Amino acid sequence: MHQLSEIASLRARLKAWRLAGERIVLVPTMGNLHAGHLHLVAIARQHGQRVIATVFVNPAQFGPGEDFSRYPRTLEADAEGLRSAGADLLFAPPVEAMYPGGATSGTLIEPPAALANILCGAFRPGHFRGVATVVGKLFNLVQPDVAVFGEKDWQQLMVIRRLVADLDFPIEIVGVPTVRAADGLAMSSRNGYLSPEERAIAPALYAALQQAVAQVQSGALIDDVECATIQAIDAAGLRAEYVSVRRADDLGDPGRNDQDLVILTAARLGKARLIDNIVFRRD
């Protein structure tokens, strides 16, 4: 596996693979990798000949008071995991390579407010601008045929799909179902912030969503389900920021005849902010 940090070296290596006619697949990450990330690499291997993983803790998507400074940097372990998972290249640029003039002083990509300023975006202003900007830069640098993202970050996935459609990137976006621990907790780099006691509580988030899905599918009113689910999450010892049922394809408010839905939530538990979702069908 090649490990590069310079843009010029990345472009030279990619040019050689492209000239050989090889299909390139991108897996963007912020590092501190877990089994869910490595599963993305395994899926990526099914979609092309060369898998490029990136590790970049993107300052543009962290707001004031968030965990940018304490987000774990584990590049050596990440490289070992990616090598074992079958990645062909790890690109881990420094911040100054990605943002020579600073993370907020250059050209930024602003996703539509209807996607970016709701749900997590309402609690993290500017977050999805930072996500769209760095993903757009990585798409431009790597020019992959395919890019692979986890569905745990469903809102992020919708922002990226819209980015590709609106800016005409010739890239296939592959969403991969959430990888979970045996007790249902969605795998996340931020799970490492949980104490043992908090880790025992955390699966209640997914359990509450499962119950909510069953209620919606049984015909319960969505507003009632959302309120009850917030109460269930809080009663379990977490602090819910939101619970919302949306259309799965565009995060719009669902009408009575909409069948393909997603329920999304974010909740605080100790120092961790946990997010989760379930995509489901209402007949």
Which pLDDT tens digit goes with each residue over 112-142? 999 999 999 999 999 999 999 999 999 999 9
Q: What CATH architecture is 189-277?
A: 2-Layer Sandwich (3.30)
Candidate list 2, 37, 39, 127, residue with the active-site label: 37
Model confidence at 75, pLDDT cuts 50, 70, 90, reads very high
Specify the pLDDT at position 105. Answer: 87
Q: Radius of gyration (Cα) for the chain, nearest Å? A: 19
Model confidence at 77, pLDDT cuts 50, 70, 90, reads very high
Specify the pLDDT at position 121. Answer: 98
Average pLDDT, the chain: 98
What are the residue ranges spanned by the domains of the chain?
2-176, 189-277
With pLDDT > 70 as the criterion, what percentage of the chain qualifies? 100
Q: Which residues pair with 266 in a beta bridge?
A: 242, 275
CB atoms under 10 Å from CB of 180, counted, come to: 16
Model confidence at 204, pLDDT cuts 50, 70, 90, reads very high
Specify the pLDDT at position 104. Answer: 85
127 is catalytic: no
31: left (phi over 0), alpha (psi -120 to 50) or beta: left
pTM: 0.96
**Class of domain 2-176 (CATH, top level):** alpha beta
To 10 degrees, the CA torsion angle through 140, 141, 145, 149?
Answer: -90
Q: Does an H or E element contain 156, and which? A: helix 154-166
Residue 275, pLDDT > 90, answer: yes
Q: pLDDT per residue over 205-258, tens digit each?
A: 999 999 999 999 999 999 999 999 999 999 999 999 999 999 999 999 999 999
Model confidence at 202, pLDDT cuts 50, 70, 90, reads very high
Q: pLDDT per residue over 151-164, tens digit each?
A: 999 999 999 999 99
